[in-house]
Amino acid sequence: MNGAPPARRAGGARRRIDRRTALRGGCLAAGAALAAVAVDGAVVTPRRLVTSDHALGSGDVPPLKLAQVSDLHLRGIGTLERQLIERLHESAADLIVFTGDAIDAAGALGLLDQLLAELPAAARRLAILGNWEHRCGVGVDALARTYERHDVELLVNRSIVVEHRGRSLRVTGLDDLLLGRPDPAAALADATPSDGHLVLAHCPAARDALGLPPAHPASLVLAGHTHGGQIAPLGKALVRPYGSGRYVAGWYRDGGPPMYVSRGIGTSLLPVRLGAPPELVRIEWRA
């Protein structure tokens, strides 16, 4: 008699059905996981502002409360931007610094004007240029006028002194490393010694070639540009823009002055963030 016994044939059929069911279930699970990641990267994480609080320095000196806003890439005043404005007011910052790429299109200048109008009035406000302000064709003069209208001082290779509770803090804003011409010597040509020196540089790779005059070493560098990788599953950045150097996000204290690299607020090229949520940086600095 040819063929397998009926029981054996039935068992083999059941195993084939079980394998197909398992495969179908696996595909459905994988599809659901990918859909969840896609929703998180496109909808959830880009709108979830994280506030990171840090302390620098020690002693009994009253701290200067510093807030860093980087890489806004403004395309609207939505949920994320409203969170930012609210938390800036809650921060009661003495100094708010914008470390470049506030806009990436000339048409967004009006949005920047709208956002700046809602900043806390009590804080001193400073800004520098990023690569996108150079690239988008808005013009430095037009951008400076928008900032000036809201008492935000644009520093392009320029240094100023901020007085805080009897101490002087020098702030130097450098032009963008990629599309500008950073000139620390010009920025500090007439500078006098101060109790601390904050350097604002959009690209973190600038830390490795600051070229500051010996009389004015940096006490702290603040940078952005990297977006923390923007797409960084499990915290591992897949790509970093040119100008990032070896830096991704957070503190760097080796081989130079302390530097904090912000993940920034907005997105560039793709409206997606994964594993690198938007960040408002707050530092209590005892210079």
What does the pLDDT read at residue 265? 98
In sequence order, the 6+-apart residues with CB closer than 8 A to the CB of 207 are: 201, 221, 223, 245, 247, 252, 256, 257, 259
**Count of all residues that appear for the chain in the document:** 287
Task: Kindly state the DSSP code that residue 137 receives in the 8-state scheme.
Answer: T
| Crossing angle (nearest 10°) for helices 109-116 and 140-149 | 20
pLDDT reading at 56 higher than 60: yes
Task: Kindly state the DSSP code that residue 187 receives in the 8-state scheme.
Answer: H
DSSP SS3 for 160 = strand
What does the pLDDT read at residue 120? 95
Confidence of residue 252 (pLDDT cuts 50, 70, 90): very high
Sheet of 152-154, strands arranged across: 50-56, 279-285, 64-69, 95-99, 124-128, 152-154
What does the pLDDT read at residue 263? 98
Task: Kindly state the DSSP code that residue 183 receives in the 8-state scheme.
Answer: -
CB 283 within 8 A of CB 262: no
CB 269 within 8 A of CB 76: no
Only one residue has tokens 């915290």, namely 235
Domain layout of the chain by residue ranges: 1-47, 50-285
The DSSP H or E segment spanning 35 is helix 6-39
127-183 pLDDT tens trace: 999 999 999 999 999 999 999 999 999 999 999 999 999 999 999 999 999 999 999
What does the pLDDT read at residue 46? 86
What does the pLDDT read at residue 23? 55
What does the pLDDT read at residue 7? 55
Give the Cα separation of 182 and 177 in Å (integer).
Answer: 6
Domain 50-285 is found in CATH 3.60.21.10: yes
pLDDT reading at 28 higher than 60: no
